[in-house]
Every structure is written in C-alpha cells, then in structure tokens.
Amino acid sequence: MKYMLLFWVDESGEMTPDEDAAQMVAVKLWVEDMAERGITLSGGALRSAREAKIARVRDGELLITDGPFAETREQIGGYVVIDSANLDAALRVAASHPLVHTAQVEVRPFWDAPWDH
C-alpha cells in the first residue's frame, strides 16, 4: 500500500550551518537506503511556504492567494511516497527518517483509486 509522509517543519526554526549540513547528510543517507530497499517511490523537498500561491476559481474568476496559508508555525517542507505493507510498517519508516527529530511527520495512506489499477 502507498503512504505519503508529509514533513511539517517550523520555518522559523534556527539551525546552525553545521547542524543544517549534518541533517542534510543524514537525510541523503536515509533517502539512499530507502531507495536501495525499494521502499521509496518518490519524494522531494519544498521551498518555503512564503513562495507558494493558491489558485482557485470562484464565480468564473481566478483568485490567487499568497502563502503561507495555515495559521500555524509549521508548514509542509517536503514529502516522500513509500510502499509499505501496512500502517505500522509505514510508521516505522517515518520514525527512521532523520527529520522526525526536528519536524512532525504525518503518515497518510493513499486512496485505492480506480485509475491506479
């Protein structure tokens, strides 16, 4: 079953350059390990929510809203899609990610959609 790991990060958090570099190395090693084991399907880091936009159409008019959007300190900073036997296994994968120590990791199952078959 496919699960998405959403990394909720505090964009106002301060890290020293050394801490940031060490975390990036740890993430790179985790990504490589999960890819070699066939667990990860895709993933990526996202730029700041301040650079994002929301587009919607209401009454035929395009409305654009600048980010950030949630009234919270945490924003989605990245994602990974994994293939896992069940939710417990997906949670173990999430718990092994280096960002679990500085971010919240939301683990969400995909719908079994008819276009996936």
* Contact assessment for residue 55 and residue 62, using Cβ atoms and an 8 Å cutoff: yes
Q: Which residue ranges of the chain lie beneath pLDDT 70?
A: 68-71, 116-117
Query: CB neighbours (10 Å) of residue 12?
Result: 8
Where are the strands (E) in the chain, listed by range? 2-10, 40-45, 53-58, 61-66, 74-83, 104-109
DSSP 114: G
Residue 59, pLDDT score: 97
Residue 90, pLDDT score: 97
Residue 10, pLDDT score: 84
Whole-angstrom distance, CA of residue 97 vs CA of residue 93: 7
Query: CB neighbours (10 Å) of residue 103?
Result: 20
Residue 110, pLDDT score: 92
Domains and CATH numbers, the chain: 2-111 (3.30.70.1060)
Residue 73, pLDDT score: 77
Say if pTM beats, i.e. exceeds, 0.85.
no
